[in-house]
Amino acid sequence: MNSTQFQVTRNCATLLLPRDFGGSDALEIRNNLLESLHRLPKINSVVLDCSNLTLIDRLDLQQLLDIVHCIRLMGKKIGFCSIGASLAAVLVNLNADLGDCCFGINLDDTLRKLKA
Amino acid sequence: METNSLSIHRRSAEEYLGLYAISQEDIQELKQIGAQVNPAIDAMLDRFYEWMGEYPEMMAYFRDESAIAHVKKMQRRYWQIFFSGSIDETYVNDRYKIGTIHAQIDLPVAIYFAGINMLYPMLRDHSIEIAKSDLNRSISGDAAIKLLHLDAALVCTAFTDKRDQMIAESSRAVMEMSTPVTEIWEGILLLPVVGIVDSRRSEEIMNAVLNAISTRNAREFILDISGVGVVDTAVANYLIRITKAASLMGCESTISGISPAIAQTIVQLGIDVESVRSTATMMDALSKAFRRRGIQMNSSDALPS
């Protein structure tokens, strides 16, 4: 995982999902993220930044949901930011179960909602 | 595409020649008739306009004498091309264009056919004259009929294509007007839906709403369906999905004005509405949206005069 994709601000880890999220890269992202969460216990929430992610298929969505479930199992809150119109439509059409996540129009909005 | 199937779509000139069984003999016959008819075209057209003069609804398409002169000139060209025997792509395009023009000026197909019906006997008479004048020639008149049918088919195809296009454009315009996603306050979008909502319209609404949220960075979205009488399973699901998708984009959504009938439909259909925020009226939805955005509304009565 590229170090620029993963930043920690105010005990919140922000992960910029790549445009071509999925496959073995998704697995690598998950491993690195979970390892970081384990190493940095102060991190209490994770924001997945979808600015670059415009579309996703069912298989890649499952990988994304796996990441979300793992983060949840590690007791962290999860937020999404910058989901575009096309991605939102796809997520709804694929019945993505993201029920207990926070959604913000941008990173600040998501951080604010996670804190609330 | 099967060449034998009668399709309304345009075909190549070669396909039309096969479909209407227009042979080289037919083309030769056309040219023979044309040699006789061409000098008489002006007289034929004069008779044609005399006949049209009896029908004011036909003459209404001509604003003045100059318009008639212009159309006569075009018709002269039309018949010259008809008898030239050159049935190629240019010919097909030319006839198709005529149909498009008819559709644009709203000329009923019945009038077009009436005109053809009036002109045909003149063509037939000329064919008979040719046959009489030279017994060695076998002029059946079939060639002219075949080509007239081809012309009529092309004109009708263009006419229906143009009409379809006009209907599609109108539908699109109506669809755009029927999804007026309005930013009623900074960051607050409102979409009042009125009338019948089907799956197609639901999809249009979804696209319009999500794009509006994205372009306007909206934080609140209110979908007012008090003007919607009934919804079916697919539409109810769509409406719920619209609000869910909006929420994924970080925009709080509310459905207002759910009628008792729609509420019962949603419940009976077992649609998951736990994540959907709803209010009885648009006023409630607006008031709650303002509150969430930290906007305070003061009644003018409370202001000092």
Query: pLDDT of A64-98, one tens digit each?
Result: 998 998 888 888 899 999 999 999 999 998 988 88
Q: How many CB atoms lie within 10 A of CB B165?
A: 12
In chain A, the residue whose alpha carbon lies closest to the alpha carbon of B203 is A89
In chain B, the residue whose alpha carbon lies closest to the alpha carbon of A107 is B250
Query: pLDDT of B128-164, one tens digit each?
Result: 776 667 655 556 667 888 888 899 889 888 888 888 8
CATH number at residue A12: 3.30.750.24
Query: pLDDT of B62-89, one tens digit each?
Result: 888 888 888 889 888 988 898 888 899 9
Give the domain ranges of chain B. Answer: 13-172, 182-295
User: Which residues have C-beta within 8 Å of that of residue B279, sequence separation ≥ 6?
Assistant: B254, B255, B256, B285, B288
Least confident of A35-44, B3-12, B57-66: B3-12
H or E stretch at A46: strand A45-49
Q: What is the model's pLDDT at position B216?
A: 92
Report how far residue A81's alpha carbon sits from residue A110's, in angstroms, rounded to the nearest whole number: 6
What are B265-270's contacts with CB under 8 Å, separation 24+? B265/B230, B265/B231, B265/B232, B265/B236, B266/B236, B266/B240, B269/B233, B269/B236
CB contact under 8 A, A88 and B275: no
Most confidently predicted of A24-28, B189-193, B198-202:
B189-193
Residue B3 pLDDT class (50, 70, 90 cuts) = very low
Residue B6 pLDDT class (50, 70, 90 cuts) = very low
Mean pLDDT (whole number) for B251-273: 82
Q: Is the pLDDT of residue B279 over 60?
A: yes
Residues of A in contact with B210 (CB under 8 A): 85-86, 88-89
Q: Indicate which of A64, A91, A105 best probes the interface with B, i.e. most B CBs within 10 Å of its own CB.
A: A105
Residues of A in contact with B246 (CB under 8 A): 88
User: Which residues have C-beta within 8 Å of that of residue B207, sequence separation ≥ 6?
Assistant: A85, A89
CATH class of B13-172: mainly alpha
User: Of B39, B1, B3, B38, which Cα lies nearest the Cα of B19?
Assistant: B3
Point out the residue among A83, A93, A99 whose CB comes nearest to the CB of B249. A83
Q: Indicate which of B181, B202, B243, B249 best probes the interface with A, i.e. most A CBs within 10 Å of its own CB.
A: B249
Token pair for B286:
């607006």
pLDDT, mean over chain B: 83
- Report field, pTM of the whole predicted structure over 0.80: no
Beta bridge partners of A81: A49, A104
CB contact under 8 A, A110 and B211: no
Report how far residue B71's alpha carbon sits from residue B177's, in angstroms, rounded to the nearest whole number: 38
Q: What is the model's pLDDT at position B83?
A: 87
Q: Given 3.40.710.10, 3.40.50.720, 3.40.50.150, 3.30.750.24, which CATH number is that of B182-295?
A: 3.30.750.24
Mean pLDDT (whole number) for B252-278: 81
**How many percent of chain B have pLDDT more than 90?**
18
Q: What is the model's pLDDT at position B303?
A: 52
**Residue B24 backbone dihedrals phi, psi, to 5 degrees:** -65, -35
> Which one has a higher pLDDT value, B18 or B303?
B18
- Could you tell me the CA-to-CA distances from B264 to B236, B256, B268 in Å, in that order? 11, 15, 6
Any chain B CB within 8 A of the CB of A110?
yes
CB contact under 8 A, A88 and B211: no
Domain of residue A47, residue span: 3-115
Amino acid at B154: L
Q: Is the pLDDT of residue B220 over 90?
A: yes
Q: Are B103 and B162 in contact (CB under 8 A)?
A: yes
Q: For chain B, which residues lie within 8 Å of any Cβ of chain A, measuring from their own Cβ? A: 206-207, 210-211, 213-214, 217-219, 241, 244-251, 275
Residue A104 pLDDT class (50, 70, 90 cuts) = very high
Q: How many structural domains comprise chain A?
A: 1
**How many percent of chain B have pLDDT more than 70?**
90
Per DSSP, the three-state class of A14 is: strand
Point out the residue among A103, A106, A109 whose CB comes nearest to the CB of B248. A103
Q: How far is B224 from chain A (nearest CA, A)?
A: 20
Q: How far is A86 from chain B (nearest CA, A)?
A: 8
**How many percent of chain A have pLDDT more than 70?**
96
Q: What is the model's pLDDT at position B190?
A: 94
B292: left (phi over 0), alpha (psi -120 to 50) or beta: alpha
- Could you tell me the CA-to-CA distances from A96 to A63, A101, A109, B199, B235 in Å, in that order? 11, 11, 21, 21, 19
Q: Is the pLDDT of residue B176 over 90?
A: no
